[in-house]
């Protein structure tokens, strides 16, 4: 929300402070400051002039006019201008030599087109009033010659840009921000909605509400004899522009102006194009509407619509229809102001990916009492500026809504803040917000009052608070406590460190997660945090079969994006999309990891979770029904690698990431859980069928690692030979791991033996190593594969595996005979299990 300081001062009696001081006060009150922008402070030496005569210069590709302009000096000024929208006798803004225009643009006398130009006649854009303008700004005929244009037009202004969070929709208006500024400075507030519409003498254009859940108040006023050629005044166009809105026409500008001023969205219909009674209802199957942006939209049954006898004419609170828009020939106008369902407008806006200034306000909550006053304010402006006549009567269709009442102990805000606010302070601050406060010794009924009764255990007297209509967010005692605390000043709250409870600390699961993150970071990986959402397209890109369990996912009721409406069942899509983004930014050597939950629903889980009331504790059966609807949420860790894993440089050639690095990442993770992984060849999407490893902890499958399938690489646009690993930490936590023991360190020397075994090329390395380890016995300290060879020397279809075996005893120096016997036993067991034989034998 961009707030013009001059506009703000019309409704709050601010002291002589700067825009930055006002912004600081608003920030302290909870409104987040984005920026402060100054307009017109650098403009100087621009005056009002009268065009005395115009000479059109010939021989140029575009119209060039040499003007004599009276600026209140001894002699007229000669000025060359290319605009043609003014005539002799018009009064215009003139930048004299030495003048400075917005952006530091300096004006000087110069010779151009063969004539002297002793200044410049200015347009709205050149004065910083608009982003663009078709011609020179022509001023009213009674504007005094020689007057300072900056002061005359109020060009000097400051704009405070605020970020408005969803819970304070009332601040999306000058009215709301002025109320906050008045409270912050303890100044008088003049409500711009304090207008007095005439007593209704009957309905205007006929209208009704067919669905009370969609709209509870609908107001129409009618203006006839409107001049469609009338233009918006400069002050209105300037304020709209500085608020970030583009001036369009007088009718549209007035509705936008009142929306910015009061916070009530309005819409103007061409009365000549309306047919029959206007009805607010939900959409019917098959209905469509061509909106003002020339898009034909297929409507959803839950969409809130404004219709007449011809069909749909507007998407309520979001965008009007093209058929009834105000045109250059519109002379009769119907102004609509309404109070629509907050959730209904929010869902419709997201459903159609159509966010407008109106929908942003309706989905955050609009003052239900405003439609009568905002429509009258708009009608007055249209009649005043467009020459129309306001027709007697007003159409006012409404559904009765009981005002909310909240009971709160007077001492509750102080207990929440950890300080003391006396009863008078609490009442004063709540009334400053606009609440009506009454004292009550008994409960008044309702859920909020029941909560408050439980809070009133300290003997505080109870206050019954009726929030104002412009604050629909104030629904329980905590909301009211927050208002008191923020107006009293967050900076005044005491700083007290909470006492740490004895015996608390990290759980084993939390410790493991932190150890895993540190170990992967030490191994060269960078941690990311991606959104836990995915879509059917991700399952297709991962080449998952139609019956794959990972395709069964929890669908969100209100997804942020229709392309990703599912909770993720694997970490890989988020990792792969982040990898693509990094590569697209020029980082080709990437190693990423993420730790997070995945969501795996049971095939027999109910499609919709039961929704229970809050008036009592759920029964065991109801709790069980909720548990059955919840998906399993295991904790997983995933990595992706692309490019060089070991960088090249002056020291030599680097090494590209391959499937072995992905497997090694899994071993690093498992080592932190005290688990040794068993690596087995496997075929599992989305990995390459010949470069995929299944990872087991004992007999439990805990994950997969390897190189991704080429089709997956192509679908995501990944670098060639991209590798990935996904491991379930929850299963590693469940592995039976005893208390960690420090290894015994022997003081005796190590004895090494190397063996080279020839096996069939199809035999994996893991079973050969396992046989050697078991056959070598307790004397074996470590085993390492240091060479793999396949060639003519070992025969076709065979490979040679060279291992280094290290032996050591804890109580003696081993003899050659002992180490040789252990080596031979290891080779014998490998031969028995895998058919291996010593190379050269």
Structural element, H or E, at residue 584: helix 572-584
Q: What is the mean pLDDT of residues 538-558?
A: 92
Mean pLDDT, range 296-317, rounded to an integer:
94
> What is the model's pLDDT at position 96?
93
pTM above 0.75, yes or no: no
Question: According to the 3-state scheme, what is the secondary structure of 254-293?
Answer: HHHHHHHHHCCCEEEEEHHHCCCCEEEEECCCCCEEEECC
Q: What count of other Cβ atoms lies within 10 Å of the Cβ of residue 424?
A: 9
For position 212, what pLDDT does the model report? 93
Torsion of CA 351, 353, 359, 360, to 10 degrees: 120
Closest Cα partner for 704 from 663, 658, 661? Answer: 663
Share of the chain above pLDDT 70, in %: 97
- The dihedrals phi and psi of 82, each to the nearest 5 degrees, come to -100, -5
**Is 471 in contact with 433 (CB distance < 8 Å)?**
yes
Does residue 608 register a pLDDT over 80?
no
**What is the per-residue pLDDT across 129-151, written as a single tens digit (0 to 9) for each?**
888 888 899 998 889 999 999 98
DSSP 309: T
What mean pLDDT value characterizes the chain?
90
* pLDDT for res 447: 45
Strands 751-760 and 687-697: unpaired
pLDDT of residue 59 exceeding 90: no
Q: 561 or 412: which carries more pLDDT confidence?
A: 412
Model pLDDT, residue 736: 62
Residue 268 above 50 pLDDT? yes
Residues 298 and 806: their CA atoms lie apart, in Å, by 74
Nearest Cα to Cα of residue 527 among 584, 587, 575, 573? 575
Confidence tier at 445 by pLDDT (50, 70, 90) = very low
Give CA separation, 76 vs 34, 138, 304, 417, 812, in Å: 46, 18, 62, 69, 115
Could you tell me whether strands 723-728 and 635-642 are parallel, antiparallel, or unpaired per DSSP bridges? antiparallel
pLDDT of 369 over the 50 cut = yes
Arithmetic mean of pLDDT, 20-26: 91
Angle between helical axes of 447-455 and 477-488 (0-180°, round to 10): 60
Strands 304-308 and 2-4: unpaired
pLDDT for 70 = 93
Higher-confidence position of 737 and 327: 327
**Which has the closest alpha carbon to 358: 373, 336, 386?**
336
Q: Is the pLDDT of residue 667 over 90?
A: yes
Least confident of 442-456, 629-643, 741-755: 442-456
Q: Return d(Cα 489, Cα 186) in angstroms, integer.
A: 13
Average pLDDT over residues 409-433: 91
* pLDDT recorded at residue 444: 43
Residue 839 banded pLDDT, cuts 50, 70, 90: confident
How large is the angle between the packed helices 370-386 and 250-262, nearest 10 degrees?
140
Res 443 pLDDT > 70: no
- Whether the per-residue pLDDT at 335 is higher than 90: the answer is yes
pLDDT in tens, 804-838: 999 999 889 999 999 999 999 999 999 999 999 99
Q: Residue 344: phi, psi to the nearest 5?
A: -65, -45
Q: By the 8 A CB rule, do 801 and 759 touch?
A: yes
- Give the tens place of pLDDT for each residue, 489-532: 888 888 888 787 777 778 888 889 999 999 999 999 999 999 99
Residue 565 has pLDDT above 90, yes or no: yes
* pLDDT for the residue numbered 654: 87
> Which of these, 105, 84, 83, 87, lies nearest to 95 by C-alpha position?
105
Mean pLDDT of 631-638: 94
**DSSP assignments along 765-831, one per residue:** HHHHHHHHHHHHGGGEEEEEEEEEE-STTT-TTEEEEEEEEEE--SSSPPPHHHHHHHHHHHHHHHH
Query: What is the per-residue pLDDT for 144?
Result: 93
- Confidence band (pLDDT; 50, 70, 90) for 54? very high
Q: Tell me: pLDDT of 240 over 70.
A: yes
Whole-number pLDDT of residue 737: 58
pLDDT tens, position by position, 158-167: 999 999 888 8
Asked which of 212-216, 428-432, 459-463, 527-531 is least confident by mean pLDDT, the reply is: 459-463
Quick one: DSSP state of residue 449? H
| 87-141 residue pLDDT tens | 999 999 999 999 999 888 899 999 988 888 999 999 988 988 888 888 899 998 8
């Amino acid at each position: 929300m961009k707030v013009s300081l001059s506009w703000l001062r019309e409704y709050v009696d601010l002291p002589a402070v700067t825009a930055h001081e006002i912004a600081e006060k608003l920030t302290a009150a909870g409104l987040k400051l984005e920026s402060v922008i100054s307009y017109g402070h650098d403009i100087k030496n621009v005056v009002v002039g009268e065009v005395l005569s115009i000479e059109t210069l010939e021989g140029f590709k575009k119209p060039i006019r040499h003007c004599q302009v009276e600026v209140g000096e001894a002699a007229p000024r000669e000025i060359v201008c290319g605009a043609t929208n003014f005539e002799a006798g018009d009064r215009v803004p003139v930048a004299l030599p030495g003048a400075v225009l917005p952006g530091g643009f300096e004006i000087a006398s110069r010779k151009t087109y063969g004539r002297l130009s002793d200044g410049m006649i200015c347009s709205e854009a050149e004065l910083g009033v608009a982003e663009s303008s078709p011609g020179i700004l022509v001023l009213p005929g009674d504007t005094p010659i020689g007057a300072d244009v900056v002061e005359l037009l109020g060009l000097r202004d400051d704009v405070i840009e605020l970020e408005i969070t969803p819970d304070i929709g009332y601040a999306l208006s000058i009215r709301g921000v002025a109320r906050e500024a008045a409270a912050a400075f303890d100044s008088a507030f003049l409500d711009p909605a304090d207008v007095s519409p005439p007593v209704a003498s009957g309905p205007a254009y006929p209208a009704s509400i067919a669905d009370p859940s969609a709209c509870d108040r609908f107001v129409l006023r009618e203006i006839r004899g409107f001049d469609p050629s009338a233009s918006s005044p400069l002050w209105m166009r300037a304020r709209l522009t500085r608020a970030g809105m583009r001036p369009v026409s007088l009718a549209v500008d007035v509705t936008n102006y009142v929306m910015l001023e009061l916070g009530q969205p309005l819409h103007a219909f061409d009365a000549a194009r309306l047919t029959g009674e206007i009805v607010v209802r939900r959409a019917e199957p098959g209905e469509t509407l061509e909106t003002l942006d020339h898009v034909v939209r297929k409507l959803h049954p839950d969409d809130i619509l404004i219709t007449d006898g011809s069909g749909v004419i507007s998407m309520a609170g979001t965008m009007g229809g093209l058929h009834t828009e105000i045109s250059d020939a519109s002379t009769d106008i119907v102004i609509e102001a309404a109070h629509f369902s907050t959730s209904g407008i929010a869902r419709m806006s997201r459903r159609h990916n159509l966010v407008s200034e109106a929908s942003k306000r309706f989905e955050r909550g609009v003052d239900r009492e405003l439609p009568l006053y905002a429509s009258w304010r708009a009608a007055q402006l249209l009649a005043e500026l467009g020459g129309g006549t306001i027709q007697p009567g007003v159409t006012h269709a409404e559904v009765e809504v009981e005002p909310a009442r909240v009971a709160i102990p007077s001492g509750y805000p102080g207990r929440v803040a950890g300080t003391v606010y006396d009863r008078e302070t609490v009442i004063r601050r709540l009334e400053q917000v606009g609440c009506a406060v009454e004292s009550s010794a008994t409960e008044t009924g309702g859920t909020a009052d029941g909560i408050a009764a439980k809070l009133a255990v300290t003997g505080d007297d109870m206050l019954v608070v009726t929030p104002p209509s412009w604050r629909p967010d104030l629904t329980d005692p905590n909301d009211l406590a927050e208002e008191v605390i923020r107006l009293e000043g967050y900076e005044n709250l005491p700083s007290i460190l909470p006492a740490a409870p004895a015996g608390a600390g990290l759980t084993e699961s939390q410790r493991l997660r932190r150890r895993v993150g540190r170990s992967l970071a030490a191994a060269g990986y960078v941690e990311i945090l991606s959104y836990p959402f995915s879509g059917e397209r991700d399952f297709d890109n991962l080449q998952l079969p139609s019956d794959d369990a990972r395709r069964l996912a929890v669908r969100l009721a209100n997804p942020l994006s229709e392309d990703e409406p599912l909770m993720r069942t694997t970490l890989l899509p988020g990792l792969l999309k982040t990898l693509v983004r990094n590569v697209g930014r020029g980082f080709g050597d990437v190693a990423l990891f993420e730790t997070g939950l995945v969501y795996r629903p049971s095939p027999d889980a109910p499609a919709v979770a039961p929704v229970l009331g809050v008036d009592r504790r759920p029964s065991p059966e109801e709790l069980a029904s909720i548990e059955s609807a919840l998906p399993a949420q295991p904790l997983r860790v995933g990595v992706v690698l692309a490019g060089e894993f070991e960088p090249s440089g002056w020291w030599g050639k680097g090494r590209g990431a391959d499937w072995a690095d992905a497997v090694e990442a899994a071993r690093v993770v498992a080592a932190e859980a005290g688990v040794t992984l068993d690596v087995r060849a496997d075929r599992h999407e989305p990995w390459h069928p010949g470069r995929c490893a299944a990872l087991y902890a004992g007999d439990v499958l805990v994950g997969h690692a390897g190189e991704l399938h080429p089709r997956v690489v192509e679908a995501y646009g990944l670098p060639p030979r991209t590798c990935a690993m996904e491991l379930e930490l929850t299963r590693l936590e469940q592995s039976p791991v005893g208390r960690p023991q420090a290894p015994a360190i022997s003081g005796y020397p190590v004895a090494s033996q190397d063996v080279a075994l020839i096996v069939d090329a199809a035999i994996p390395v893991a079973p050969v190593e396992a046989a050697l380890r078991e056959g070598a016995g307790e004397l074996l300290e470590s085993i390492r594969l240091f060479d793999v060879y396949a060639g003519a020397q070992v025969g076709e279809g065979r490979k040679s595996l060279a291992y280094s075996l290290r032996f050591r005893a804890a109580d003696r120096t081993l003899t050659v005979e002992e180490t040789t016997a252990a080596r031979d036993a290891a080779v014998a067991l490998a031969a028995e299990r895998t058919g291996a034989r010593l190379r050269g034998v």
